[in-house]
């Protein structure tokens, strides 16, 4: 077993606690809790949380794991999206990330935009292993075709999960990119610039180290290379080559104030020139194109999951 892969966890049967919220003649809606399998977690953060929507007429339905972005409000579009997916016979699991208010320790909530490197790393470990445990549970419950549909921070996390877990069939990544150092350096979001921007000299040195690391990973595999910086293991670009030849759809914003266009193109190239669609919007306003985004996702899922 690799000592480098931070997303490994002990193998044991997944135990998910489902509580029925609502049922009609077409579907059931449950709230869900399960124990975090990550080797590290936040204080008091032993339980992962989510919602599961089960279509009643589709046996062994495909499962879409829906993963929100930064801020609790970013869950809302996925709740709307779940209804449409259910009508197409696709079950849905909305995962609440460790960065969601329902899971964060009270002490961390006021400084969510200024977490320590160790807290970021732990959050990513928790989130990626949460997704993998959902896949464990899904496979045991008849869901063999599994996709991730995610936004922003959720896309960073879900693209890593898809990279390390080939049981995830397909991925949709909305306002997504790779090379976290470059994203933080050139983001136009003030909170991130104040907390994470480096001097030009330090930035260039870190980019050189990351490029050297990626060349070594290309020849040996990430599980066989010990990174000089731990944050290389939570960068989506590290895992993008593992997505080559697999169904991936990127949906990006032309005027994204958080994800520089160059970093989106960098991820796309690394994952094998996947399908990519650009909408005339900012990072925060991408959902004004919601009907068109849903239409693109439905078409992608029909093809990639053979629906």
Q: Is residue 57 part of a domain?
A: yes
Query: Tokens representing 45?
Result: 């953060």
Q: What pLDDT, on the 0 to 100 scale, is given for residue 190?
A: 64
Mean pLDDT on 130-151: 95
**pLDDT band (50, 70, 90) for residue 2:** low
What average pLDDT is seen over the chain? 93
**Does 1 fall in a domain?**
no
Residue 53 has pLDDT above 90, yes or no: yes
Residue range 35-48, pLDDT digits in tens: 999 999 999 889 99
Whether residue 121 has pLDDT greater than 70: yes
Residue 11 lies in a domain: no
Is position 286 within any domain? yes
Q: Is residue 47 part of a domain?
A: yes
Over range 74-89, report the average pLDDT: 95
- Domains: count for the chain: 1
- Residue 262: pLDDT over 60: yes
What local confidence, expressed as pLDDT, does residue 1 receive?
38
pLDDT, tens digit, 9 for 90 and up, residues 242-255:
999 999 999 999 99
Q: Does residue 109 sit within a domain?
A: yes
pLDDT at 32 > cutoff 60: yes
Rounded to an integer, what distance in angstroms lies between the CA atom of residue 35 and that of residue 46? 6
> Where residue 41 sits, what CATH number does that domain have?
3.40.50.1820
| pLDDT score of 191 | 65
Quote the CA–CA distance of 169 and 286 in Å, as a whole number: 25
Q: Does 4 fall in a domain?
A: no
Q: Where are the alpha helices (DSSP H) in the chain?
A: 76-87, 117-140, 153-164, 180-186, 190-196, 200-220, 236-239, 261-270, 290-304
- Residue 97 located in a structural domain: yes
The domain of 100 spans 16-304
- pLDDT digit string, tens, across residues 146-183: 999 999 999 999 999 999 999 999 999 999 999 999 99
């Amino acid at each position: 077993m690799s000592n480098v892969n931070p997303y490994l966890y002990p193998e044991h049967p997944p135990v998910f606690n489902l509580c029925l919220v609502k049922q009609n003649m077409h579907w059931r809606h449950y709230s869900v809790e399960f124990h975090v399998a990550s080797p590290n977690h936040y204080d008091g953060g032993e339980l992962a949380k989510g919602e599961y929507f089960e279509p009643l007429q589709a046996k062994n339905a495909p499962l879409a794991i829906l993963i929100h972005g930064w801020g609790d409000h970013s869950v809302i579009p996925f709740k709307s999206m779940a209804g449409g997916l259910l009508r197409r016979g696709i079950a849905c699991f909305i995962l609440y990330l460790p960065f969601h208010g329902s899971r964060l320790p009270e002490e961390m909530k006021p400084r969510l935009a200024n977490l320590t490197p160790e807290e970021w790393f732990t959050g990513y470990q928790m989130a990626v292993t949460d997704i993998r445990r959902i896949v464990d549970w899904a496979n045991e419950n008849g869901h063999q075709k599994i996709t991730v549909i995610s936004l922003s921070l959720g896309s960073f996390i879900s693209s890593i999960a898809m990279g390390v877990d080939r049981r995830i069939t397909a991925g949709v990544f909305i306002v997504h990119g790779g090379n976290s150092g470059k994203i933080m350096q050139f983001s136009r979001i003030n909170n991130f610039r104040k907390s994470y921007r480096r001097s030009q000299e330090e930035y260039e040195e870190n980019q050189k180290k990351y490029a050297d690391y990626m060349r070594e990973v290309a020849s040996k595999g990430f599980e066989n290379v010990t990174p000089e910086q731990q944050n290389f293991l939570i960068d989506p670009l590290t895992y993008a080559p593992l997505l080559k030849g697999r169904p991936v759809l990127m949906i990006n914003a032309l005027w994204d104030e958080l994800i520089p266009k160059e970093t989106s193109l960098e991820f796309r190239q690394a994952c094998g020139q996947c399908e990519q669609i650009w909408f005339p919007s900012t990072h925060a306003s991408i959902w004004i194109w919601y009907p068109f985004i849903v239409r693109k996702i439905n078409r992608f899922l029909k093809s990639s999951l053979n629906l």
